[in-house]
A and B are shown apart, each in its own frame.
Chain A
């Protein structure tokens, strides 16, 4: 090629070198403390287990937001509706009352949670085909609020206002065993996410996010894939909802209506932005962080004598932290947490450790003005 590339000293070789055997061993060793933390700390302390399950649930919601907002580039301010639909469906399908459900019914409940939530997401997706950008944001906001207030409060669905109990099957009844179950569900979502990224599904979604015209020229059915993005996102959030229902061992509409629901909606957006749009590891980390914000801070507060102040104001403190992180990310660091930990995630994947961000970061592109939304 006649032209010389003077623009950046890009080392393409770096991305092709994978680690040697010793390299992998080192990486395995470095991963051990993290694995230990994730697996063993909850076993050690009962309170932490409960919180850890909550973090796992949020991680799944984060992944679902990542698919919709990160990959497909659609904004969603009503994701809590899908979480709720999943919880509602699972609790009602299993419908075991005060008895322990058998594993088959439980599994059925979870599958239905995924299916119904995906179906609802398809409806929203259908609307999204006609309404774009900022107006779509508004529609998702309204969708979330209306679903919670109008559907979740139907007496036959919410146990006549008392909530629908959702006891765990005997195999996963203890907190720790349920935690392992939750981790497996997170793993399932991660698996699907990996295969989204590695195949034409992810490429199709990202292409249509960046430039619908080019996507069409490449043979991507833009309308179909947009719908697919919603369905995948809804499915993951529905799964998270199923896990949520059996975590709290009941479905209650109070978790999703009015202020509680709106708050969740905002946290979910903050989660995915702070995590870094399109960055799996970052989103999981950010989701876990926000889920554990309360336990971590009450721990610090009781240790330093601020416990009363913290308990009185805790909702607001997490608001402020979330807001500050969000604004900081959007203004200064569009790649989010994902970009910050990228050197580490790349290293764990087998590449040499390098601080140079070789990949035109999807998040930076998406947030930095890649696709201009016209309202």
Chain B
């Protein structure tokens, strides 16, 4: 295979794209988990998921730095506050936007989440903080600069490890949650038939709120892990613009209804991207925009999956 052959050439080694692929893939998987959760439960695509992440990042940044109107708090507390902000935003979205539209066609809800995303980007833009800054990384904070693993001269950053671990932990937790807990089962019940769920005593309103709160949590964690150098920042709309489409593709690859699928899909898409970027001859002549190669690769993958196997790799329904 051409890609593999060139990966073994003198200039590029196999490990660089592998490492970066898994790292980025974890990020996509993290966002993808939230997307899959909301798709499983509400049958919609939540275009605002990226903004839940950004809100968390911004709040964490502001509390970590401590500006005039907000006290400076320890780093991990700032992260926690960020995640809580994301949870709050998600719950507000559920109450104000999703509730009133509960019974409408799914497309309507998707359009509404687009509106929410637009709105959140706008609000973020109005807040007084340096919009191009980035959140501090975990290794920065723990001051353990020497704790960067080196494998074959390729640096694996701590933050990347953290992303991967967070993804793994959350994916397993989500899986267990849906299989074995009452609330998880209730969420699935409501997604299949809200009326029947009500009949057996499930409070549809509470379940809906809980679901969105969890989605906010997942998005928030993704946000505070993603908004760090080199490529991340707390710029409004950055996560939505750069990562969301890929996260969706990851979720689709895994099968929109499968949480482990989001995990697998995320890693796979990350790898596909990384290898596409590494091999310049993948799409000839396409060098102007650095991400173009990867984008085309992901687009092709997405299209092929949807046309050939709409259920994705691990999903259960078309």
Contacts and interface: CB of A to CB of B under 8 A. Distances in A.
A149 B292 contact: yes
Interface stretch (B3-11, B17-25, B96-104, B152-160): B96-104
Interface in B134-158: none
Contacts, number: 154
A372 B296 CA distance: 31
A317 B124 CA distance: 11
A270 B291 CA distance: 27
Contacts of B119: 319-320, 323-324, 327
B121 interface: yes
Contact of B106 (A315, A324, A375): A375
A355 B39 CA distance: 40
Interface string B282-312: 0101101101100110110011001100100
Contacts of B241: 258-259, 262
B108 interface: yes
A327 B112 contact: yes
A173 to B, nearest CB: 32
A331 B100 contact: yes
Contacts of B176: none
B199 interface: no
B70 interface: no
Interface in A232-289: 257-259, 262, 266, 269-270, 273
Contacts of B43: 375
Contacts of B295: 145-146, 149-150
Contact of A135 (B108, B126, B245, B310): B310
Contact of B125 (A142, A155, A270, A315): A315
A320 B115 CA distance: 9
Interface of A is mostly: helix
A326 B306 contact: no
B118 A319 contact: yes
A127 B121 contact: no
A85 interface: no
B107 interface: yes
Q: Which of A149, A322, A369 has the most CB of B within 10 A?
A: A149
Interface string A115-155: 00000000000010011011101110111011001100111
Nearest to B97: A327
Contacts of B108: 330, 367, 369
Interface of B is mostly: helix
Given A316-B236, A323-B122, A143 B116 contact: no
A373 B105 contact: yes
Contacts of A137: 45, 107, 110
A126 B307 CA distance: 11
B101 A143 contact: no
Contact of A138 (B117, B126, B302): B302
Q: Which of A75, A266, A330, A368 has the most CB of B within 10 A?
A: A330
B126 A269 contact: no
B265 to A, nearest CB: 13
A28 interface: no
14 contacts: A75-B111, A127-B307, A131-B307, A138-B252, A150-B289, A153-B288, A154-B285, A257-B289, A259-B241, A266-B114, A318-B122, A320-B122, A326-B112, A369-B108
Given A131-B307, A375-B106, 20 more contacts: A75-B110, A137-B45, A141-B245, A142-B302, A149-B295, A313-B125, A316-B122, A320-B118, A320-B122, A320-B123, A322-B115, A323-B115, A323-B119, A326-B115, A327-B115, A327-B116, A330-B115, A370-B105, A373-B105, A374-B106
Question: What 5 pairs between A and B have smallest CB-CB spacing?
Answer: A316-B125, A319-B122, A323-B119, A320-B122, A323-B118
Interface of A: 75, 77, 127, 130-131, 133-135, 137-139, 141-143, 145-146, 149-150, 153-155, 161, 257-259, 262, 266, 269-270, 273, 313, 315-320, 322-324, 326-327, 330-331, 367-375
